[in-house]
A and B are shown apart, each in its own frame.
Chain A
Amino acid sequence: ETGVTQSPTHLIKTRGQQVTLRCSSQSGHNTVSWYQQALGQGPQFIFQYYREEENGRGNFPPRFSGLQFPNYSSELNVNALELDDSALYLCASSSSRAVVNTEAFFGQGTRLTVV
């Protein structure tokens, strides 16, 4: 149990639709990152939010966007869904106040299927 919760756990959408995935960070964590994990692959970094601002982005198109709220919960939005967007979407939270690198805490993920 990491204290990071994601919703929904599973989702089926149609190509071209839009989807919003949600993440509740561990208490006290002000940094959240989102990852996409295709079947059989390692997680790929999408972007990170720190204090409600985007703080780094991986190689993903602009139709992947996010929000972080004052309570440090966050959303991942994907527009114009494509079949290749089918994947497990993971969020991870951490505290930037850590003096020395510490671990990231991952949620259980949202399994998105695009048909």
Chain B
Amino acid sequence: DAKTTQPPSMDCAEGRAANLPCNHSTISGNEYVYWYRQIHSQGPQYIIHGLKNNETNEMASLIITEDRKSSTLILPHATLRDTAVYYCIVSPLGYNTDKLIFGTGTRLQVFP
């Protein structure tokens, strides 16, 4: 079973920041938080991952709480192309990075 909990759906206006929460209260000290997204009819796409520090790349920012029990993925300026299902996954350090346990994710709808 997935070790994360996410809201089933969220809406966001185009150009605004999309903040997607994830609860992982049972995360272990050696587990990373990964985010993937899946645009309709495509394979999942890696977005970002982190252990305990906040991370930022060209796609998004990842904010992890100090106790590591929850995190937030931030898309700073959402576009219509960001409409997708977003998956939050925890995976142990050193674990093969494609033995991923997906939940049902958050369906983000970006509207004009």
User: Which residues of chain B are near A55, meaning CB under 8 Å?
Assistant: 96
Q: What is the distance, in angstroms, from A59's C-beta to the closest C-beta of chain B?
A: 10
A-B contact count (CB 8 A): 74
Of the listed residues B41, B85, B100, the one surrounded by the most CB atoms of chain A closer than 10 A to its CB is B100
User: Which range holds the interface residue count of chain B?
Assistant: 20 to 34
CA distance A69 to B43 in the complex (A): 22
- Say whether chain B's binding surface is mostly helix, strand, loop, or mixed: loop
Q: Known contacts being A101-B32, A101-B49, is A108 close to B42, with CB within 8 Å?
A: yes
Q: What is the distance, in angstroms, from B2's C-beta to the closest C-beta of chain A?
A: 7
- Taking Cβ atoms with an 8 Å cutoff, the residues of B that contact A are 2, 32, 34, 41-46, 49, 85, 87, 91, 93-105
User: Which residues of chain A are near B46, meaning CB under 8 Å?
Assistant: 103-105
User: Which range holds the interface residue count of chain A?
Assistant: 20 to 34
User: Which residues of chain A are near B94, meaning CB under 8 Å?
Assistant: 101
- Taking Cβ atoms with an 8 Å cutoff, the residues of A that contact B are 2, 4, 31-33, 35, 40-45, 48, 50, 55-56, 90, 92-94, 96, 98, 101-109
